[in-house]
Amino acid sequence: MNGEHRQQPLLLGGFEIYQNWLNVDMQAGLIEAARNVAAAAPLFRPETRFGKQMSVRMTSAGHWGWIADAGGYRYAPRHPSGVEWPPIPEPLIEIWQVLTGLERQPDSCLINFYGENARMGLHQDKDEASFEWPVLSISLGDDALFRIGGTERRAPTQSVWLRSGDVVIMGGAARLRHHGVDRIRHGSSRLLPDGGRVNLTLRIVEA
Ligand code: SIN
Ligand code: MN
């Protein structure tokens, strides 16, 4: 981490992008932590409300995890298999504290895995009870073309490549901006031996 000399973030559409914030050892540790979560609560492919499978595979840690099926998009206290979500790995809580300065801790960590052809359409994060808290997003593995729009769906967008070790804070007036991942550059990072990208987002879901 870059905790001692506070790095100035790149500001794009109100999102704060801390480029290369996590060193390679930290990145590898977080991949290991994500693997442990997925061993207990396996990655699954969420379904849109139209019954179509998303290209991203997901799981979660914390009191709440995100699920999507014919019943809609929502936070749930259990994995679709019925097991409880594992606790949020401690290093993630530290990153949250250093970068947000908040006393309140996240109660959810979404884990997204992007294989070669995975993407995520433009969306807002609005299933949380309150939008006063930021969402902190960590990129690991392959580069991702990240698109940032406005609070209105049709607002103009801008794009930035997120790389392994980058941390983005989506908060304040930008909290409800649309965002998505157009594509990844498969094999651009060696963090995961078979390529792919892991995105971790820390959130406060409960009121
Ligand atoms: C998300 O919006 O939940 C994921 C963003 C990302 O993968 O960078
Ligand atoms: Mn999102």
Ligand with minimal distance to 127 CA: 2
Nearest protein CA to atom 3 of ligand 1, as residue: 201
In a domain, 121, yes or no: yes
Task: Find the CATH number of the domain harbouring 128.
Answer: 2.60.120.590
Ligand with minimal distance to 196 CA: 1
Boundaries of domain holding 144: 10-203
Q: What is the pLDDT along the chain (207 residues), one digit of tens a residue?
A: 655 557 899 999 999 999 999 999 999 999 999 999 999 999 999 998 788 999 999 999 999 999 998 888 999 999 999 999 999 999 999 999 999 999 999 999 999 999 999 999 999 999 999 999 999 999 999 999 999 999 999 999 999 999 999 999 999 999 999 999 999 999 999 999 999 999 999 999 999
State the Cα–Cα distance between residues 58 and 205, nearest whole angstrom. 17
pTM of the model: 0.96
Nearest to 141 by CA among 165, 120, 109: 165
* Total domains in the fold of the chain: 1
Nearest protein CA to atom 5 of ligand 1, as residue: 180
Contact 202, 37 (CB under 8 A): no
- Going from the Cα of 121 to the center of ligand 2, the distance in angstroms, rounded, reads 9
Angle at 94 between CA 92 and CA 99, to 5 degrees: 100
Q: Look up residue 63 and give its two tokens.
A: 């009191």
In a domain, 186, yes or no: yes
Residues with Cβ within 8 Å of 15's Cβ and at least 6 positions away in sequence, in order, are: 148, 168, 169, 170, 174, 177, 179
